[in-house]
Amino acid sequence: MEILLVVAPLAVPALGALAYAAAGWRRSTAGVAAVSAVLSLLAAAVLAGEVVTHGPLVVGALLRADAVSAFMLVVITAVAVLVAIATPAHLAAELAAGRIGSRTATWHAVLVQAFLAAMALAVLAADLGVLWVAVEATTIVTAFLVGQRRTRAAVEAAWKYVVICSAGIALALLGIVVLNHASARSGTGAGLDWAALAGASAHLDPGVTRIAIVLLVVGFGAKAGLAPLHAWLPDAHSQAPAPVSALMSGVLLSVAFYAVLRIKVISDGVLGPGFARALLLAAALASLLVAASLLIAQRDYKRMLAYSSIEHMGLLALGAAVGGPLATAAVLLHVLGHGLAKTVLFLGAGRVLQTTGTSRIAEVSGLAARQPVLAGSIGLGVLALVGLPPFSLFASELGIARAGFGSGIGWAMAVALLLVVVIGAALVNHTSRMLLGPPREAPGAAPVPRPLPRTTAVALVTGLLACVALGLSTGPLADLLGAAAEILSGAP
């Protein structure tokens, strides 16, 4: 039974990929992704209840599910459900417009399922080496998805993504090798097992571990979109198909940051909390500064959302730098809230692109008059993203700020809040220009008054309602959040 609970979130999307590879993408198979996502979400929920009640589940030497793993699985599968609901309408529009063929649609479906399986493996890995393999697999799979349109811009974005993320992953691999050396010298037999390394931290060589931690944080930080290795993110997210952009922003970045959180536990045990805090603070403030400076004059709404992702990864790094159960729980809640809100926005942006044919902010106006449901979803999504109540990002950002001002880094929190205000103002300004005002009448630039597909509307509204519900109460996730925060805070 334990094996089934741990393996199911990984096996279900893998079977979905095989189903699409065998049967192809067609109307009769379009629902396979949604069924796979819902089954995975149910499996994640059952697994979460099990680990909260009975503790971690271990399968062999390679897989382990604790509260952190279970929470990340909930994030991955919740976002996957929204994306799976909206994808059939997105691909149908692309097929109807002749931008893709049935073969490309099939590859899209296969690769998305493989992508979800790789992310599930990453958060279920008990071993740092297995995690690295899973993260590298997500890079390979998503590179094909980013270049799916086969335009010059899409192919360049895919190559840029591969080069920068491969450099980051190479640094992470070097860090793993160095950490393995420290582990071997300790004589504890911990190897690269997360839990064993955290338990053996008192025996690891501080000098060697310090080098490993820097390499690992920078390496996985590149995949998470943290500055200074963030340059791949705006191009990749703006060129990828909307459902893929939603998955990359909503969960891929968070899964990479999950690795950083695990590494921080080892770092705190060996070097004390100050070392990782300094690294994460520098990455957080640099990421927020990059996002603020490039969002002010942003002209492309998909790139605007991508830079917003850099901002939120910066906020996660800021919360992790603060540390402690309160900030860590807020970080995890932020991961879920950001994933849901950004999924709504990328799916909405994809629909805007399909109906207007442009991603330039200046060429989209009056959206509220032509497509009120789509415009309302995008408007509310941006309000969620800037951290207004009652959305969950308000609660998570408030939690990070409260913990930060109480932890002796008030100056960093003040700088971060100032940058967040600048970013919020830029997002609201750009979005209001798209939503309000008279509709453009110029051919090729005006929104075509086509109705929003029902499935897309369901995905957008469901995502927003989930953000509101989490903002009002974490409900059944409260115990899971608490247990995960204790693990990442180094509690025994």
Predicted pLDDT at 449? 60
Read off the pLDDT of residues 412-470 as tens digits, 9 standing for 90 and up: 999 999 999 999 999 999 999 999 877 766 544 444 566 889 999 999 999 999 999 99
Predicted pLDDT at 27? 87
- Mean pLDDT across the chain: 93
Does position 222 have pLDDT exceeding 70, yes or no?
yes
Predicted pLDDT at 446? 47
Predicted pLDDT at 118? 96
Read off the pLDDT of residues 382-400 as tens digits, 9 standing for 90 and up: 999 999 999 999 999 999 9
Q: How many angstroms from the chain centroid is the CA of residue 425?
A: 23
User: Where in the chain are the domains?
Assistant: 1-489
Q: Phi and psi at residue 177, in whole multiples of 5°?
A: -60, -45
| Residue 215, helix vs strand vs coil | helix
Neighbours of 68 (CB within 10 A): 25
Alpha carbon separation from 243 to 72, 83, 84, 88, 390 (Å, rounded): 19, 6, 8, 10, 26
Predicted pLDDT at 439? 72
Residue 327: both structure tokens together: 């900030």
Distance CA 153, CA 297 (A): 21
Does position 491 have pLDDT exceeding 70, yes or no?
no
Least confident range from 147-161, 285-299, 365-379, 474-488: namely 147-161
Read off the pLDDT of residues 20-60 as tens digits, 9 standing for 90 and up: 999 999 989 999 999 999 999 999 999 999 999 999 999 98
Predicted pLDDT at 83? 97
Distance CA 53, CA 40 (A): 20
Predicted pLDDT at 443? 47
Residue 415: both structure tokens together: 């700088």
Query: How is 427-469 classified by DSSP, letter by letter?
Result: HHHHHHHHHSSPPP-STTTSPP-PPPPHHHHHHHHHHHHHHHH
Residue 63 bridge partners (DSSP): 59, 125
Read off the pLDDT of residues 229-241 as tens digits, 9 standing for 90 and up: 888 899 998 899 9
Mean pLDDT of 173-198: 91
Read off the pLDDT of residues 86-133 as tens digits, 9 standing for 90 and up: 999 999 999 999 999 999 999 999 999 999 999 999 999 999 999 999
Predicted pLDDT at 60? 85
Read off the pLDDT of residues 240-269 as tens digits, 9 standing for 90 and up: 999 999 999 999 999 999 999 999 999 999
Mean pLDDT of 310-317: 96
Report the percentage of the chain scoring pLDDT > 90: 79
301-311 burial code (b ≥16 CB/10 A, e <16):
bbbbbbbbbbb
Predicted pLDDT at 63? 94
Neighbours of 231 (CB within 10 A): 16
